[in-house]
Structure 1
Amino acid sequence: MVMRWDNLAAPPVEGVPDRAAPATPPLPLALPGAIVRTFDTPGFAGMTFYEVRAKSIINRVPGASRVPFEWTVNPYRGCSHACVYCFARNTHTFLDLDAGADFDRTVIVKVNAGELVRRELAAPRWRGSHVAMGTNVDCYQRAEGRYRLMPPIIEALRDFANPFSILTKGTLILRDLPLLRQAAEATRVSLSFSIGFVDESLWRAVEPGAPSPHRRLDAVRQLADAGFGVGVLMAPILPALSDSDSAIDATVAAVAAAGAVSVTPLALHLRPGAREWYAHWLAREHPQLVPRYRELYRAGAYAPQSYQRELTARVRIAARRHGLHRADPSDDRRPTGAPPPTAAEQLSLL
């Protein structure tokens, strides 16, 4: 795999107490020249950050991906949200790291992301296409509080009036609300939150590093109050854990009460990397459910279409009951001149 960063050392983060240390084990072969950094704060205990200077940042999505966006920006790789089901886990193996604990505890930070976005938006070949963020790992994960990569990215997109979307679980997005308002005056800005369920015991078990569902709902409410039409990606819905009628109704009701404009359901899918990590967690925490999952996912990463259709129908019924409208993400009959799909709709096809 050809990596997109060079061997230049990254500078320390101004004002942040830290310690740079030699990598133990040695630097992954895919990250020569990275600066290895750890922070002496409880929120980053056991975590390692590899600071790199990327060569490019606006990435084209392969056509075979079958998603309704062409370009993404991902300032981080690896994610402290540590969601046991995260579909992006296997991308860590491209860096000679593992898809399990390394994904949760070892984060790649593209420290020059903001300056690269500005430079690439200014390139004559760039045509102002929609840019999606949060499509791999969360750009508002905990590390963003330290590295502050998103403000210069948003500023560049604002200054070039370039449309963009953000999908996140991170309530840190509220820090950038003034910038997002400024950007929305210049271009189309789509904001979505990922909230698969509102059961806090389940959240602690499967999303231990992410803000709680109720904190995310509060962020949806604040963004809606600021004038944004916020969508919610109800994902993933976990078979036998969050797919009951009562769980679905409780989640949709909370989403509607928070002021979201849409809810888009997405059943759990288990790609390589995520599949093994989630299976390990399931066997430890809910061994009685292992046969059910083997049956549902025997054909691969996706549950049967019949299960997905039935799940979607039940979410739609709940959405109507609570006054929410949801456009079908498989319906590509958008009117000419209509805004691009919301971030939630974008991810619903992954």
Structure 2
Amino acid sequence: MGQTRYEHVTTKQTLNRVKAERMPFDWSINPYRGCGHGCSFCYARGFQSFIGMGYEDEFQHHIFMKMNAAEALQQQLTIAAKKHEYDLEAMRRSIGEVTIGTATDPYQPIEGKAEITRECLKLLAKYRISTNITTRSPLVMRDLDILTRMEDVSVNISLNTMDAAVIRMLEPASPLPAARLETIHRLSDAGVDTSLFVAPVLPLITDAEDGIRGLLTSARERGAVYAMISLLRLSRDVKKWYLATLKLHFPQLVQSYRELYSQGAYAEGDYIRSFKAMAALLLAEFKLDKRTAEMAETIPSLPRRMPEPSKPVTGKELMPEVEQLSFPF
């Protein structure tokens, strides 16, 4: 498809209730639909059909930007504050955790200019909402001026291999492994609770124990306090695109994948059980299986210019507009 088209859209609500019981969060925010990183295995490709879009190149090259996301979020949070008579602690407990980036990367390339995610983050900070962010991008470091002022925030950096060549083949526009590991380091150094998401693990490509061990070692050395390891899930539409990508770069694996995923979206049962057992042992070994993990001795930070916002946040921007309440920073 080549050139990327960015389409401005409006949204009625930015906070969306997550109804699935297996999800560990209550609400989600996705400032964009589609993703410029173009990961071939992304499960969000399967959501394109909900709006009459394709799961192929269109997912990467036609990005919908929710330009009023912050305004819609402000409305939702204002209503919630009034409902709880401006008791923000009660409001915070009622809402629970909000996760940014469940069906798109909130720090994909266009966010560098658009700053839609940043504006939403300011509001979550203002109302003291527990926030979790999942991204592949070092651009999240731009928002350290907000993250370091939030009372309850965590960031998950997704990375499934240290092999830059594999990343380029299967995640054509994603940041390379070294940049993502540095992001873990920088965030951790700044006091932000940072985790590694080894996801999705790609059978026969990134599932070797030595490779995952290397990832966990690097993340632990850079201050990660938790890690999650998750196997590839292939819905029908995503499977078509992913297998077509494998045919280009790993043609010898296509038939093996067809057999491994012959029963549906999940790999064959014995493979799953074996892999999960190995993953659990590794997480326990590195003490990354619980968010209460003790900090390991970290390697020194590397001097490097970090991404910067167009305008630094001010304390006033993060103060709730409720005169009778005072929240010191």
- TM-score per shorter chain, which class? 0.7 to 0.9
Specify the alignment match of 1:142 in structure 2: 109
- 1:326 paired with 2:283, answer no
Looking at structure 2, the residues matched to 315 and 194 of structure 1 have their Cα atoms a distance apart, in angstroms, of 16
2:49 and 2:55 in contact (8 A); partners too: yes
2:26 and 2:95 in contact (8 A); partners too: no
Looking at structure 2, the residues matched to 104 and 327 of structure 1 have their Cα atoms a distance apart, in angstroms, of 34
Specify the alignment match of 1:177 in structure 2: 144
Looking at structure 2, the residues matched to 263 and 312 of structure 1 have their Cα atoms a distance apart, in angstroms, of 14
- 1:114 paired with 2:70, answer yes
Looking at structure 2, the residues matched to 272 and 120 of structure 1 have their Cα atoms a distance apart, in angstroms, of 35
Q: CA deviation at 1:320?
A: 4.4
Specify the alignment match of 2:11 in structure 1: 54
Looking at structure 1, the residues matched to 273 and 153 of structure 2 have their Cα atoms a distance apart, in angstroms, of 30
* Residues 83-162 of structure 1 aligned to structure 2 (within 5 Å): 83-124=39-80, 125=83, 127-162=94-129
Looking at structure 2, the residues matched to 195 and 122 of structure 1 have their Cα atoms a distance apart, in angstroms, of 36
- 1:299 paired with 2:263, answer yes
Looking at structure 1, the residues matched to 243 and 165 of structure 2 have their Cα atoms a distance apart, in angstroms, of 19
Specify the alignment match of 1:288 in structure 2: 252
1:154 and 1:183 in contact (8 A); partners too: no
Deviations 1:217-256 (A, max 9, x none): 0000000101122111101111111112222222222222
Q: CA deviation at 1:176?
A: 0.2
| DSSP-derived class of the 2:191 partner | coil
Looking at structure 2, the residues matched to 283 and 209 of structure 1 have their Cα atoms a distance apart, in angstroms, of 19
Seq. identity, % = 32
Of 137-146 and 116-125, deviating more is: 116-125
Looking at structure 1, the residues matched to 112 and 165 of structure 2 have their Cα atoms a distance apart, in angstroms, of 26
Specify the alignment match of 2:320 in structure 1: none
| DSSP-derived class of the 2:72 partner | helix
* Residues 19-98 of structure 1 aligned to structure 2 (within 5 Å): 46-63=3-20, 66-98=22-54
2:28 and 2:102 in contact (8 A); partners too: yes
| DSSP-derived class of the 2:155 partner | strand
| DSSP-derived class of the 1:72 partner | strand
| DSSP-derived class of the 1:230 partner | strand
1:252 and 1:315 in contact (8 A); partners too: no
Deviations 1:99-127 (A, max 9, x none): 01000100000001111111111114574
Specify the alignment match of 1:232 in structure 2: 196
Q: CA deviation at 1:170?
A: 1.2
| DSSP-derived class of the 2:198 partner | strand
Q: CA deviation at 1:205?
A: 0.6
| DSSP-derived class of the 1:88 partner | helix
Specify the alignment match of 1:8 in structure 2: none
Q: CA deviation at 1:299?
A: 0.7
Q: CA deviation at 1:294?
A: 1.3
Match of 1:167 among 121, 134, 139: 134
Letter in 1 for 2:146: L
2:30 and 2:106 in contact (8 A); partners too: yes
Looking at structure 2, the residues matched to 305 and 116 of structure 1 have their Cα atoms a distance apart, in angstroms, of 43
Looking at structure 2, the residues matched to 147 and 264 of structure 1 have their Cα atoms a distance apart, in angstroms, of 30
Letter in 2 for 1:258: R
* TM-score (norm: length of structure 2): 0.81
2:153 and 2:193 in contact (8 A); partners too: no
Looking at structure 2, the residues matched to 66 and 193 of structure 1 have their Cα atoms a distance apart, in angstroms, of 21
1:168 and 1:192 in contact (8 A); partners too: yes
Letter in 2 for 1:280: A
Deviations 1:174-195 (A, max 9, x none): 00001011123xxx11211111
* Residues 250-269 of structure 1 aligned to structure 2 (within 5 Å): 250-269=214-233
Of 201-210 and 93-102, deviating more is: 93-102
Q: Which runs of 5+ in 1 are unaligned?
A: 1-44, 329-350
Deviations 1:291-312 (A, max 9, x none): 2111210111011343223223
Looking at structure 2, the residues matched to 170 and 85 of structure 1 have their Cα atoms a distance apart, in angstroms, of 17
Looking at structure 2, the residues matched to 289 and 230 of structure 1 have their Cα atoms a distance apart, in angstroms, of 34
Letter in 1 for 2:18: V
Looking at structure 2, the residues matched to 181 and 327 of structure 1 have their Cα atoms a distance apart, in angstroms, of 22
| DSSP-derived class of the 1:182 partner | coil
2:31 and 2:66 in contact (8 A); partners too: yes
Letter in 2 for 1:133: I
Match of 1:200 among 142, 156, 164: 164
Letter in 1 for 2:138: T
| DSSP-derived class of the 1:254 partner | helix
